[in-house]
């Protein structure tokens, strides 16, 4: 695959997913704006997720990006302008419950993944190598925007260090790795992802509070 195909695929996945999510979110917003029936509006949000994600996959676009954009649209404009207080409570309660259930299933799958990682110990060195690479990428993604924005905004002392070290990874990274189709690289990707997530949660998560105290003192 050449560079042109990679760029085209990237924009199809990212830009296409974002546009699809925006359109789907607006359609869902307009559907909820014209009614005031909490149970029906809950079903609209559920249908929005299922239909939009399936459509994104069939169009070779990013389903997660489409869901994020649609969710932001409904979670902001939809909640503010298209829902009554009762509907807002019902929708948020429903999706909070779904979130708890899916998180429980995800961490159950993480437990099963430990067995896979244990059998893929040969990939451990790649996982250890991925940790500094991930931190370097995080450094670039934080320091460059802040360096540009600092011309107009004033940031708290130590903001860069805290944002870099506080960029924890967890459920989403594991879920994306688990969702990959079966191929000869999947176990390697699972092991590397699991190693980075473990480092993020255990090392970064347990030391971010002392880091904050140190940089602001």
Average pLDDT score over residue span 9-38: 88
The answer on 93 and 7 residing in a single domain is yes
pLDDT (0 to 100) of residue 119: 60
How many other β-carbons are positioned within 10 Å of the β-carbon of residue 136? 11
CA distance 150 to 158: 13
CA distance 40 to 190: 39
Asked if the structure places residue 190 within a domain, the reply is yes
Asked if the structure places residue 18 within a domain, the reply is yes
Q: What pTM does this model have?
A: 0.65
Instruction: Give the DSSP letter string of 41-69.
Output: HHHHHHHHHHHHHHHHHHTT--HHHHHHH
Q: What is the pLDDT of residues 132-151, one digit of tens each?
A: 998 998 889 888 888 888 88
CA distance 217 to 210: 11
The answer on 126 and 97 residing in a single domain is no
**Which residues constitute the domain of residue 183?**
120-216
Q: What is the pLDDT of residues 35-78, one digit of tens each?
A: 888 889 999 999 999 999 999 988 888 888 899 899 999 988 88
């Amino acid at each position: 695959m050449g560079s042109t195909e990679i760029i085209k695929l990237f924009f199809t996945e990212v830009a296409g997913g974002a546009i699809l999510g925006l359109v789907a979110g607006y359609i869902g917003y307009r559907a909820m704006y014209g009614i005031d029936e909490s149970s029906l509006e809950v079903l609209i949000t559920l249908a929005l997720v299922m239909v939009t994600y399936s459509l994104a996959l069939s169009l070779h676009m990013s389903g997660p990006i489409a869901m994020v954009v649609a969710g932001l649209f409904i979670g902001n404009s939809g909640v503010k302008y298209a829902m009554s207080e009762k509907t807002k409570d019902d929708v948020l309660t429903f999706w909070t419950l779904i979130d708890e259930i899916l998180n429980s299933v995800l961490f159950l799958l993480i437990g099963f993944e430990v067995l896979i990682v244990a059998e893929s110990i040969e990939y451990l060195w790649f996982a250890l190598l991925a940790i500094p690479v991930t931190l370097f990428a995080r450094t670039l993604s934080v320091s460059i925007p802040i360096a540009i924005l600092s011309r107009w905004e004033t940031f708290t002392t130590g903001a860069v260090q805290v944002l870099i070290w506080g960029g924890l990874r967890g459920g989403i990274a594991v879920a994306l790795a688990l969702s990959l189709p079966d191929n000869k690289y999947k176990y390697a990707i699972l092991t590397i992802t699991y190693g980075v997530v473990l480092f993020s949660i255990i090392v970064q998560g347990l030391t971010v509070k002392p880091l904050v105290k140190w940089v602001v003192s």
